[in-house]
Amino acid sequence: MLPILTHEAIASDSSCLRQAYAEQGGFIIPQLLPVAEIDQVLQTITETAGLLGDCSATDASLSLAQQASRCVQAVHAQREGGQGLIYEAISQTPLMHHIASHSAIMNVVRSILSSHVVLHQRLLVLMSLPEDGWHLGRWHQDYYYNGGPETTCTVYIPLQKVNQRNGGLLLAPGRHREGMFDHDVRQYDVPTKWNTIDPEIVATFDPLQQIELEAGDGLFFHSMLPHAAQMNHTPDVRFVINLRYRDLLDKSYREAGWKIPELTAARQALARKSLTSAT
Ligand SMILES: O=C(O)CCC(=O)C(=O)O
């Protein structure tokens, strides 16, 4: 299982970070980002949604996460593809650049990779709508979608509690050591646009780890670690910061001039509107 590494454990011996990353494929650090930073992201989501549509009826007695959720859902109902527009705008905000370069994250990333890292250009806040399966990243490896060095680290920081009910990740600890699994169109319980790992291989992922985190906790995982988002069965949007850090000192990446090859199949999968359309 991916271990929980407290600030105290890391301060006394930071080699536990590298060891967990190599052996289990990642780790969890509770209370990684300060609440004030999480609140700022939620407020920015609410404000940005409000620029696109009307969400003025939001109730001030709700938590900031619930207010952001109501606002995103209201705008999504008013304007086709509204959630996607908010998602794109948030991923390019100065605030997300600030979050992505926060010392709480950078110190950990530098410990497991090197002091020379770059970010995937899209600084995501995933916004998973209730009962939406089409956009769900079922069983996959981030390497298939992002390329770059295999050691690339995804940092996953929820803006509210995540657990099985709202679709928190399922992971296959240790299975990053087997390299890339084949990804293709596959049926899980509901259709997804994502190309995914063969369910017969997924059936061999044992034990699985259900991620349960509080807002601001950080999950760090290897780009080869198989994982699956699950359906959000709550009335609220699931918000998760999702950042990818690449090591400029990685040998093959450096030899390739830090270029990422065309990821045509992955790109086409994420762009498709249905499983029967050409793309
Ligand atoms: O929807 C999520 O919470 C996670 C999505 C995911 O696995 C990914 O973006 O790689």
136 or 278, greater pLDDT: 136
Would the pLDDT of 159 be above 70?
yes
Q: How confident is the model at residue 68 (pLDDT cuts 50, 70, 90)?
A: very high
Q: Read off the tokens for 23.
A: 């052996």
101: amino acid identity, one letter? S
* Contacts for 128 with CB less than 8 Å, ≥ 6 apart: 135, 136, 166, 167, 229, 232, 237, 238, 240
Q: Nearest CA to 49 among 23, 28, 77, 68?
A: 68
| 276 part of a folded domain | no
Task: Report whether 76 contacts 83 (CB < 8 A).
Answer: yes
SS (H, E, C) 188-246: CCCCCCCCEECHHHHCCCCCCEECCECCCCEEEEECCCCEECCCCCCCCCEEEEEEEEE
**140 CA to centre of ligand 1 in angstroms:** 9
**Helix (H), strand (E) at residue 259:** none
| 277 part of a folded domain | no
Count of structural domains, the chain? 1
Q: Which domain holds residue 161?
A: 7-271
* Contacts for 108 with CB less than 8 Å, ≥ 6 apart: 10, 17, 29, 32, 218, 220
| 42 part of a folded domain | yes
Ligand 1 atom closest to Cα of 169?
3
pLDDT tens by residue, 4-46: 999 999 999 999 999 999 999 999 999 999 999 999 999 999 9
137 in contact with ligand 1, CB cutoff 6 A? yes
227 in contact with ligand 1, CB cutoff 6 A? yes
Average pLDDT, stretch 127-146?
A: 96
Q: Read off the tokens for 27.
A: 């780790």
pLDDT tens by residue, 186-211: 988 889 999 999 999 999 999 999 99
pLDDT tens by residue, 91-102: 999 999 999 999
Would the pLDDT of 279 be above 50?
no
User: Residue 274's pLDDT is what?
Assistant: 83
User: Residue 278's pLDDT is what?
Assistant: 44
120 in contact with ligand 1, CB cutoff 6 A? no
43: amino acid identity, one letter? Q
Task: Report whether 198 contacts 5 (CB < 8 A).
Answer: no
| 92 part of a folded domain | yes
Would the pLDDT of 60 be above 90?
no
Average pLDDT, stretch 133-154?
A: 96
Average pLDDT, stretch 163-170?
A: 98
Window from 52-61, 76-85, 118-127 with minimum mean pLDDT? 52-61
| 28 part of a folded domain | yes
CATH at residue 150: 2.60.120.620
Q: How confident is the model at residue 277 (pLDDT cuts 50, 70, 90)?
A: low
SS3 26: strand
**12 CA to centre of ligand 1 in angstroms:** 32
- In angstroms, the first-to-last Cα distance of the chain is 37
Q: How confident is the model at residue 59 (pLDDT cuts 50, 70, 90)?
A: confident
Beta strands in the chain (DSSP E): 26-29, 117-119, 124-128, 153-158, 170-171, 183-184, 196-197, 209-210, 218-222, 227-228, 238-247
**94 CA to centre of ligand 1 in angstroms:** 22
| 17 part of a folded domain | yes
| 251 part of a folded domain | yes
Which residue's CA is minimally distant from atom 6 of ligand 1? 137
| 35 part of a folded domain | yes
pLDDT tens by residue, 246-260: 999 999 999 999 999
SS3 41: helix
